[in-house]
Chains A and B, each alone.
Chain A
Amino acid sequence: MSAPGASAEPWPLWEVFVRAGRGLSHVHVGSLHAPDSDMALRNARDLYTRRNEGTSIWVVPAEAITTSDPDAKGAFFESPAGKNYRHAVYYTASEGVKHL
């Protein structure tokens, strides 16, 4: 059985980011399908903020997202290792001194 419209292009995929409140970043919450960005925003509002979860929404076409190469993750994220001096906890001599 072939349904009418079965061969039609499906609506594209959008990634959804929601800002839970003022002062917070937009955080990825999931994805949805919509024909265009206007409808994607509205669907995101209906789908991901039914319980007051958001004050602002971003929708991004999933295909517009570039991801770092997972095969190169060692090389890509190796550099910060061995640079503990970037973290405050590295500096132990000043422990106990106030306002530092």
Chain B
Amino acid sequence: MDELTLSDELAGAGGVATTDVAEYALWLGDDALILSQQLGWWISRAPELEEDVALGNIALDLIGHARSLLHYAGTASGRTEDDLAYWRTEPEFRSAWLFEQPNGDFGHTIARQLVASVYLFELYSRLRASSDATLAAIAEKSLKEVDYHRDHAVQWILRLAGGTDESRRRITVALADVWPYVDELFRDEPLIDRLEGVAVRPSTLRPAFDDVIVGVLSEAGLQTPAGFIASGGGRRGSHFTTMGYLLAELQVLARQHPGASW
């Protein structure tokens, strides 16, 4: 590509974050990183080759968001995106439990994608108006990509729900399995009070999220799941049980070679 612009690699590069903004950037960056890490596993394992490519694109978009956000978070403490991704311990991560849910079967991955992409779409839509120029720029770039992720998830929800009896059964189970982790996404933490105008207050996203979800699920002829609500706690460093394994895999090589560059 002649018109290749290398600056695209990190959206919104240039600003320096305050401690609180950095903490917020970690919320968003860790969500994107963990989801990308999970989706990357599908490449070479998807139900059809075309879907290897589709999930690969989504994983690539997300790692792009993660890099921009972690890069920005790192400016507050003089750390790089890789310092943050590879050298933090589990309690230092800020991802929500939804993103930490295992891939499961393709239905579980799609159920998680639906929740994640609808949430991220609403979030980035509003974050574009952030008074923090870097966050606003990252949101602007990410929104268009997340819009496509949402479409991808919706298309698959419709097909799995409206396909065979087996697929309908599986997607119903998958949605029920994922639903306990929806609530945490919309919880306001004290950090949000300190970032008025910078961060998006999570609780304000819930009505729009519910509208979209109800619309999609009713088109698919599915009930919105109800039942357990998990405690969550990712924003405060308390993670889902599978997180330790995920991080062990993510970090193993980098940690065998402290100080090495790759």
Q: A: which residues have CB within 8 A of B?
A: 11, 32-35, 38-39, 42-43, 46-47, 50-52
Contacts and interface: CB of A to CB of B under 8 A. Distances in A.
A38 B155 contact: yes
Interface in B1-29: 1, 3
A74 B53 CA distance: 42
Nearest to A52: B1
Nearest to B152: A42
Contacts, number: 27
B63 to A, nearest CB: 15
A96 B243 CA distance: 77
Given A43-B54, A46-B50, A50-B53, 10 more contacts: A33-B48, A34-B50, A38-B155, A39-B155, A42-B54, A42-B151, A42-B155, A46-B53, A46-B57, A47-B50
Interface of B: 1, 3, 48, 50, 53-54, 57, 151-152, 155, 159
A47 B155 contact: no
13 contacts: A33-B48, A34-B50, A38-B155, A39-B159, A42-B152, A42-B155, A43-B50, A43-B54, A46-B50, A46-B57, A47-B53, A50-B57, A52-B1
Interface of B, secondary structure class, is helix
A52 B8 CA distance: 13
Nearest to A33: B50
Contacts of B48: 11, 33
Nearest to A48: B53
A42 B51 CA distance: 10
Contacts of A43: 50, 53-54
Nearest to A35: B159
Nearest to B54: A46
B39 to A, nearest CB: 13
A52 B5 CA distance: 12
Contact of B3 (A33, A50, A52): A52
A34 B50 CA distance: 8
Contacts of B50: 32-34, 43, 46-47
Contacts of A39: 155, 159
Contacts of A34: 50
Contacts of A32: 50
Contacts of B151: 42
Contacts of A51: 1
Contacts of A52: 1, 3
Contacts of B155: 38-39, 42
A42 B58 CA distance: 12
Contacts of A11: 48
Nearest to A32: B50
A21 B152 CA distance: 25
A33 B1 CA distance: 27
A45 to B, nearest CB: 8
Contacts of A38: 155
A42 B149 CA distance: 11
A-B pairs with the 9 shortest C-beta distances?
A43-B50, A46-B54, A46-B53, A46-B57, A47-B53, A51-B1, A52-B1, A32-B50, A38-B155
